[in-house]
Amino acid sequence: MDIDYTYALDFYRTDGTALGQRPLDPDWTPALEWVHFEGIREGRLPAVMAVNRAPGAGRVEPVWHPQSGQPYVSGFRVVLSANGADAVSRQIPTAYLRGTAQRAAAAFVEQGLLQTGEAFQYLVSAFVGRHPHALDVAAGGFAVEEIAQPLPLTAASLETYVAGAVPAGGDHVAGDFSVFVRQAVVDEAAALSRQAGDVETGGVLVGLLHHDPSVPEVFAEVTAQIAAPHTEAAPTKLTFTPDTWSAVRAALALRKRGELMMGWWHYHPDFCRLRHCPEEKRRLCTASSAFFSGEDIALHTALFARAYNTALLISDSAASGLTPSAFGWRQGMVTARGFYTLTAPRTWQPAAIERGAGG
Amino acid sequence: MAQAAAMTLGLRVNDVTGQKSSRASAVPLSSTIGELVQGLLAKMGLARNDSEGRPLQYYARLEREGRHLNGSELVGDSLQEDDELTLTPNIEAGGY
């Protein structure tokens, strides 16, 4: 029988002084989404993505701290079931709740118990019991039913792609979902970034999801980027407007290549130069390294929540010039990741599209 | 029952990336588009706030007419049975 747990965070100053406990209602959706995709990659789950899973189809259990024991938690085990049996599970770290902890710590700052920017520590605790979810009564009382969409997978050889690819971006972590980006996409994004100069710019990445049944594995190919029009651009901000999305969707439809919106890309200007940092300090400045801001993570989480969604960041700095890096989902968190560039010319051919079986 | 059914309609609703699609049924004709959008965001599990907790602004694009609907329009005046809507947000990426 599945057991429900409620969670809480115990906060401490770095000297060990207790600040207090705050109850949590974690959003496990990204974690469930990631594990679901892991199951699809392994061929254990049908290739259908659905946000709202049937009750009991997914659960999260605490992993008790090996030294402190209950109720303290050292991680979480996310389990997805299919046909009444546990199909796939993964363990995720307590870092999954880091953002939640930072937001909760703001209360201690307001109370004067913590200084703004002061470091703190937290422990996660779990207790048996069902969290009283706040009722969210939507206007009108109408019903909404998700339409389960099979992933449009095209058959391809992972080995062939790897043979023609060059590793790029951040660390390639074993087990990461592979993302291949055509060199032309990176080149176009860099050119648009150079053209944008001192303001941010960006676009949408489109491409295909491939399936290699011999492994088995699912991997992505970013085939093109669609520059985002109708944006509001500033040195540290880029707003994608409703007109942006309408234009991008229209451009994607015109391509008629069965491509998906795989993710997005955007450009960070040389913030050190824009802030007039002394030249001798720019090479060491943290703002000169590629990073995903809180707003970037929020956008990716809001719009590109599928576990296979990826973001490219073109960042400019005195130390490295224009540099591409990638961010994507790992263990339900948006993190820096590696990718591959495809340097060999690719001839697009309509491939047999495998439709994921209904779940 | 039949009279009550005529006072509502059904729609297909997509998120902006096309990765989430839902069927909304029994949408009251008397609702405003703004009320409909807020209800859809909640029931489809779409993000409603930005990283600072401020509400995101969403518009409903009526694919049949190729336009973004005004929040004050009424469902009964602007939409037809089986219309397709795309929920498009105003959303920021930020650097420093």
Q: A148-169 pLDDT, tens per residue? A: 889 999 999 999 999 989 999 8
A260 touches chain B (CB under 8 A): yes
Tell me the chain A residues in contact with residue B89 when contact means C-beta distances shorter than 8 Å.
240, 242, 245, 302-303
Number of Cβ within a 10 Å radius of residue A322: 16
**Distance of CA A99 to CAs A24, A27, A53, A208, Å?**
12, 11, 24, 31
Q: Which residues of B touch A269 (CB under 8 A)?
A: 95
CB atoms within 10 A of CB A173: 11
In a domain, B95, yes or no: no
Per the CB < 8 A criterion, the answer to whether A314 and A268 are in contact is yes
* Half-sphere exposure at residue A243, Cβ-oriented, CA atoms within 13 angstroms: 4
What integer pLDDT is reported at residue A282 of this predicted model? 66
Q: What is the pLDDT along chain A (359 residues), one digit of tens a residue?
A: 567 899 999 999 999 999 999 998 899 999 999 999 999 999 999 998 765 555 557 889 999 999 999 999 999 999 998 777 778 999 999 999 998 898 888 888 888 888 888 899 999 999 998 765 544 444 457 999 999 889 999 999 999 999 989 999 888 999 999 999 999 999 999 999 999 989 999 999 999 999 999 999 999 999 999 999 999 999 999 999 999 999 999 999 999 999 999 999 999 998 777 777 777 776 666 666 788 998 999 999 999 999 999 999 999 988 788 999 999 999 999 999 999 999 865 444 434 334 343 33
Mean pLDDT of B73-85: 97
pTM equals: 0.90
Cβ-based contacts of A262 with chain B (< 8 Å): none
A140 near B CB under 8 A: yes
Q: Does the residue B96 lie in any domain?
A: no
Of A52, A200, A305, the CB nearest to B93: A200
Position B86 in a domain: yes
The structural domain count of chain B equals 1
* Whole-number pLDDT of residue A251: 97
Compute CA distances A73 → A66, A86, B4, B13, B17, whole Å. Answer: 9, 22, 51, 39, 36
How is domain A149-355 classified at the CATH fold level? Cytidine Deaminase; domain 2 (3.40.140)
Q: Can you give the CATH number for the domain in which B81 is found?
A: 3.10.20.90
- Residue A359: what pLDDT? 32
Residue B78 forms part of a structural domain: yes
Report the distance separating Cα A28 and Cα A23, nearest Å. 15
Q: B1 pLDDT exceeds 90?
A: no
Question: Is residue B16 included in any domain, yes or no?
Answer: yes
Q: What is the DSSP code (8-state) at residue A350? A: P
At A37, which helix (H) or strand (E)?
Answer: helix A29-42
Helix (H) / strand (E) element for A20: namely strand A18-24
Of B25, B42, B45, the CB nearest to A29: B45
Residues of B in contact with A309 (CB under 8 A): 19
Domain ranges of chain A: 8-130, 149-355
The pLDDT value recorded for residue A47 is 92
* Domain hosting residue B51, numbered range: 2-90
Closest in B12, B18, B66 to A261, CB measured: B18
What is this model's ipTM? 0.92
